[in-house]
């Protein structure tokens, strides 16, 4: 027997521990080199743990949900072992992996009716039975690859193999108190916070308790940006392979204002004000795990195309849980776009240790007054929250006005005026 240890990967200096999510393999199952065994969640990112060697997962040392630290042993792989069908079968759902005898008696067949544990789950997920898939494993057993191949080729379940649908409540059923039948069913479900959600909560409380937060508002006529975007959309997409969105304009307008009023780009460090000579803009992105804020490094040096490509890349990574710690570390100013969800107005919370954040909202046609006449314009309400400890109202208001002017006359961005 030759044992290879599987350990927790290195975490960043600011991350002390992590939480094990769900093992993708069971003890006794074969694993391929670099196959993902489990994901580990920190308060910033989710890290994938690949198999360092091919073999059999001999032992799972740390179970699902365990708290671990960097370089801690979590599993062992036997590089010379052979996969055992019996060990993981006991842990598989009863409906997903029928016992060999039961499977044979159900069809009057042989060992070819038996599915490997990993394959059994796939069969159940696709409403297939072992008899629907030809097995290529030992003694004709159905393997995971057999099921994947059958599904890809469009295999259909036999009519008898489709179970009657069973309604399952999303929340556990909770009995109503005696004498309270008029209240109806009142189910509850207690779910522990993920590390990321707990970290978000901690940082938001920190922001509100340490910053003197004030918010200033303004409105911007988005017609010039919309016209420019419509005019160059096709050629921009053809040239750069990405669509011209609104966020690149907001990023450019923000950088334009930060250059004029550097204190908005600064941060508090003890009793000092730390002025940054660079512009790292955080873009708030929603993900299945919660809010994340990846950083556009040196945004002042990025073109519109560079910004759009990077935002698209970050959005995809956020959805897939692939954002790295280094991609979310730092930042001198942030932008939160609640308008993508239909928000009309909000007061964004500063992302420490930054001192300001821009909130962007939905653009809607509204009645406004121009030259004494009521006209319809596509308007967007901007909100900038700032730390009043170092940013006075004058700089905050003028900074937001500078963003408004840049958006209402995008040519200002070309000439930096």
- Give me the active site residues, please: 388, 392
CA distance 50 to 179: 55
Q: Helix axis angle, 223-240 relative to 393-408, nearest 10°?
A: 60
Nearest residue to 78 (alpha-carbon basis) of 90, 104, 60, 91? 60
Nearest residue to 333 (alpha-carbon basis) of 412, 260, 228, 245? 260
Say which residues have a Cβ less than 8 Å from residue 169's Cβ, sequence separation at least 6. 187
> How close are the terminal C-alpha atoms of the chain, in Å?
71
| Contact predicate 344/380, CB 8 Å | no
Residues facing 387 on adjacent strands: 213
CA distance 45 to 285: 13
Say which residues have a Cβ less than 8 Å from residue 365's Cβ, sequence separation at least 6. 376, 377, 378, 379
Q: How many residues would you count in the chain?
A: 417
Query: For 126, phi and psi rounded to 5 degrees?
Result: -105, 15
DSSP state of 177: P
Residues facing 376 on adjacent strands: 367
| Contact predicate 284/334, CB 8 Å | yes
β-bridge pairing 356-360 and 333-337: parallel
| Contact predicate 315/5, CB 8 Å | no
């Amino acid at each position: 027997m030759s044992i290879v240890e599987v350990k927790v990967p290195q975490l960043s200096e600011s991350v002390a521990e992590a939480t094990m999510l769900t093992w993708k393999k069971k003890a006794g199952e074969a694993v391929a080199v670099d196959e993902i065994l489990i994901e580990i969640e920190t308060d910033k990112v989710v890290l994938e743990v690949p198999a360092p060697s091919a073999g059999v997962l001999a032992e799972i040392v740390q179970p699902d949900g365990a708290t671990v630290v960097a370089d801690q042993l979590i599993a062992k792989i036997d590089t010379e072992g052979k996969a055992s069908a019996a060990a993981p079968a006991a842990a598989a759902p009863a409906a997903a992996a029928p016992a060999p005898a039961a499977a044979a008696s159900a069809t009057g067949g042989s060992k070819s009716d038996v599915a490997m544990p990993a394959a059994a789950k796939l069969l159940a997920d696709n409403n297939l039975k072992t008899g629907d898939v030809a097995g290529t494993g030992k003694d004709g057993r159905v393997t995971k690859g057999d099921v994947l191949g059958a599904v890809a080729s469009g295999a259909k379940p036999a009519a008898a193999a489709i179970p009657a649908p069973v309604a399952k409540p999303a929340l556990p059923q909770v009995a109503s108190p005696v004498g309270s039948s008029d209240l109806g069913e009142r189910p509850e479900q207690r779910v522990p916070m993920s590390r990321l959600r707990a970290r978000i909560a901690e940082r938001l409380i920190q922001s509100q308790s340490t910053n003197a937060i004030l918010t200033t508002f303004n409105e911007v006529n988005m017609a010039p940006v919309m016209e420019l975007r419509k005019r160059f959309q096709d050629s921009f997409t053809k040239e750069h392979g990405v669509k011209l969105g609104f966020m690149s304009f907001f990023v450019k307008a923000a950088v334009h204002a930060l250059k004029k009023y550097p204190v908005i780009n600064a941060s508090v460090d003890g009793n000092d004000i730390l002025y940054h000579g660079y512009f790292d803009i955080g873009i708030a992105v929603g993900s299945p795990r919660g809010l994340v804020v990846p950083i556009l490094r040196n945004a002042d040096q990025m073109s519109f195309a560079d910004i759009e490509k990077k935002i698209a890349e970050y959005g995809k990574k956020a959805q897939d849980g692939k954002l790295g710690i280094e991609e979310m570390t730092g930042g001198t100013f942030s932008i939160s776009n609640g308008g993508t969800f239909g928000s009309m107005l909000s007061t964004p919370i500063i992302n420490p240790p930054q001192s300001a954040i821009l909130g962007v909202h939905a653009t809607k046609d509204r009645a406004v007054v121009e030259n004494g006449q009521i006209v319809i314009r596509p308007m967007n309400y901007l909100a900038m929250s700032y730390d009043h400890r170092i940013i006075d109202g004058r700089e905050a208001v003028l900074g937001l006005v500078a963003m408004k002017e840049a958006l209402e006359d995008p040519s200002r961005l070309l000439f930096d005026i």
